[in-house]
């Protein structure tokens, strides 16, 4: 392959992926607009026309904004690659550092910082304009800035040693460096899973033990019925950032925790909370978390091998607008350009995730009353202003959860 050929393949893939995503978003907008005037029959008893239209408008606003984001991302990617952005940063770092490792780190950090700086206005707009307009944003500017700073600090403490280790292995381990890097990557991810609930999450939120005794008794009975041991039930102050509600599990083995957002506890009654928890337990019982982790690890092994093959060719660098070849540049190019090709995997991953959601729902309806979960879901759809009428193709491509109508029909058939 020549550099020019690879450039053409890259541009073609970028155009194809961007146009596909724009086309899906367009379809989504049209579908939502066409169903804006009436609440779907299955929900007409529970959801008012006002709420339905709020959901339609909120989803449309987010979708329209994401279309600008897609175009912006494409431009940024072109600027960094063919536009010479990465090359400029590499040239700038040239000669400042004695060791190639330090120079590689400088290039990586420089490009990543530049990239997040460019993305910052988009994140700000999403939170303080779109989320705020629909009454979901509870974040102050101070908290927002503090979050960003803390995020950067945690990212630096955990990410910089990882990056340095990866670059070192890539430079030292010869032909099979990708196996070593993969082992480090797996270890790193397991470490994060381990320290997330006890060290990282508490930096951003307050976790307090669930106080409500009646609810504790109900939940403990459910846990016992399902043969589940956990080291505690916690309430998280999610309301300080957003009105959206959720519940999740974190941790491993005996250190497993169940976390409820305070926003969720406020809205659902005790039976509905039990049903939501039973759904989460369904994920655990069916080993979904484990399966997901194994799938991700297998994919990262494949990607690292691919990088090892690609970075041996001059056309890989030159085809993406870079003349100085180094492990750091190869790493950057690969992971910036990868999504342009791997977006084809997204419908497969989404389908896999929706299958898990159905399985977890099935489990919940064995352990609790399926109607409780239906009621909880309707409330959550209403509170989150999620659209009840997504475009079917858009939903197939992106949605990790089945569309509301399909999911509820399935639950009611149990
Ligand atoms: Zn789920």
Distance 328 CA to ligand 1 centre (A): 38
Q: How far is the CA of 354 from the centre of ligand 1 (A)?
A: 8
Q: Which of 280, 372, 383, 391 is catalytic?
A: 280
Q: Are strands 233-236 and 207-209 parallel, antiparallel or unpaired?
A: antiparallel
User: What's the pLDDT tens digit per position in 25-81?
Assistant: 999 999 999 999 999 888 888 889 999 999 999 999 999 999 999 999 999 999 999
d(CA 40, CA 44) in angstroms, rounded, equals: 6
284 pLDDT band (50/70/90 cuts)?
confident
Q: Which of 361, 372, 383, 391 is catalytic?
A: 361
Residue 403 confidence (pLDDT) above 80 = yes
Looking at residue 228, its pLDDT comes to 83
238 falls in which pLDDT band (50, 70, 90)?
confident
pLDDT over 90 (residue 248): no
CA of 360 to the centre of ligand 1 (A): 6
The rounded Å distance from CA 185 to ligand 1 centre is: 26
Please report which residue ranges of 97-196 form alpha helices under DSSP H.
100-125, 132-133, 141-172, 177-195
Judge contact between 55 and 385, C-beta under 8 A: yes
Alpha-carbon span 17 to 4, nearest angstrom? 20
pLDDT in the model for residue 258: 85
Q: 35 alpha carbon to ligand 1 midpoint, in Å?
A: 26
Give the Cα separation of 85 and 93 in Å (integer).
Answer: 13
Q: Is the pLDDT of residue 113 over 80?
A: yes
Distance 361 CA to ligand 1 centre (A): 8
Query: Ligand 1 mean position to 409 CA, how many Å?
Result: 16
- Kindly give the interhelix angle for 288-310 and 346-367, rounded to the nearest 10 degrees: 170
Of the pLDDT bands very low, low, confident and very high (cuts 50, 70, 90), residue 362 is: very high
In 261-326, alpha helices (H): 262-267, 270-285, 288-310, 314-318
Distance between Cα 330 and ligand 1 center (Å): 37
Render pLDDT for 300-353 as a digit per residue (tens, 0 to 9).
999 999 999 999 999 999 999 999 899 999 999 999 999 999 999 999 999 999
Interval between CA 375 and ligand 1 midpoint (Å): 15
User: Which two structure tokens, joined as six digits, stand for 265?
Assistant: 């506890």
Task: Answer yes or no: is pLDDT of 254 > 70.
Answer: no
pLDDT of residue 381: 86
**Taking 80 as the threshold, does the pLDDT of residue 252 lie above it?**
no
Q: How far apart, in whole angstroms, are the C-alpha atoms of residue 143 and residue 127?
A: 12
State the average pLDDT over residues 203-219: 90
Quick check: 107 pLDDT over 70?
Answer: yes
247 beta partners? 260
Q: Please return the burial class of 53, using the count of CB atoms within 10 Å of its CB with bins 0-12, 13-18 and 19+.
A: middle
Cβ neighbour number for residue 294 with a 10 Å cutoff: 11
179-192 pLDDT, tens digit each:
999 999 999 999 99
- Give 38-83 as a DSSP string: S--GGGTTTS-HHHHHHHHHHHHHHHHHHHHHHHHHHHHHHHHTTT
Average pLDDT over residues 206-232: 88
What's the confidence (pLDDT) of residue 401?
Answer: 92
Instruction: Please state the pTM of the whole predicted model.
Output: 0.88
Distances (CA, A) of 149 to 76, 152, 153, 266: 23, 5, 6, 30
The whole-number pLDDT of residue 16 equals 96
Q: Active site includes 280?
A: yes
Classify residue 121 by burial, with Cβ atoms within 10 Å: 0-12, 13-18, 19+. Answer: exposed
Q: What pLDDT does residue 70 have?
A: 96
């Amino acid at each position: 392959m020549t550099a020019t050929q690879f450039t053409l393949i890259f541009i073609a893939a970028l155009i194809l992926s961007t146009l596909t995503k724009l086309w899906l978003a367009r379809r989504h907008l049209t579908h939502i607009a066409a169903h804006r005037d009436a609440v779907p029959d299955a929900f007409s008893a529970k959801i008012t026309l006002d709420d339905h239209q709020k959901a339609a408008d909120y989803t449309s606003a987010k979708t329209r904004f994401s279309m600008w984001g897609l175009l912006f991302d494409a431009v940024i990617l072109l600027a960094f690659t063919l536009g010479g952005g990465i090359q400029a940063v590499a040239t700038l770092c040239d000669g400042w550092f004695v060791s190639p490792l330090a120079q590689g780190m400088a290039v990586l950090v420089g490009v990543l910082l530049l990239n997040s700086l460019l993305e910052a206005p988009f994140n700000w707009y999403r939170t303080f304009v779109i989320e705020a307009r629909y009454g979901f944003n509870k974040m102050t500017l101070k908290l927002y800035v503090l979050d960003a700073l803390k995020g950067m600090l945690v990212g630096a403490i955990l990410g910089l040693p990882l990056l340095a280790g990866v670059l070192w292995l890539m430079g030292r381990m010869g032909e099979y460096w990708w196996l070593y890097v993969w082992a480090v990557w797996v270890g790193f991810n397991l470490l994060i899973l381990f320290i997330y609930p006890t060290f990282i999450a508490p930096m951003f939120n307050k976790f307090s033990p669930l106080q409500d005794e009646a609810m504790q008794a109900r939940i403990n009975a459910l846990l016992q019925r399902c043969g589940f041991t956990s080291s505690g039930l916690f309430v998280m102050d999610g309301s300080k950032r957003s009105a959206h509600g959720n519940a999740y599990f974190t941790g491993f083995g005996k250190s497993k925790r169940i976390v409820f957002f305070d926003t969720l506890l406020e809205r659902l009654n005790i039976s509905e909370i039990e049903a939501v928890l039973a759904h989460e337990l369904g994920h655990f019982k069916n080993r979904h978390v484990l399966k997901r982790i194994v799938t991700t690890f297998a994919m990262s092994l494949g990607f690292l091998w691919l990088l090892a093959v690609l970075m041996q060719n001059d056309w890989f660098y030159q085809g993406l607008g870079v003349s100085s070849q180094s492990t750091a540049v190869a790493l950057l190019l690969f992971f910036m350009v990868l999504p342009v090709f791997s977006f084809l995997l997204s419908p497969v991953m989404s389908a896999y995730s929706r299958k898990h959601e159905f399985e977890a729902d099935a489990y919940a309806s064995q352990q609790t009353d399926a109607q409780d979960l239906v009621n909880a879901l309707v409330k959550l759809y209403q509170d989150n202003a999620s659209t009840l009428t997504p475009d079917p193709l858009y939903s197939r491509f992106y949605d990790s959860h089945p569309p509301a109508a399909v999911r509820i029909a399935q639950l009611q058939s149990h």
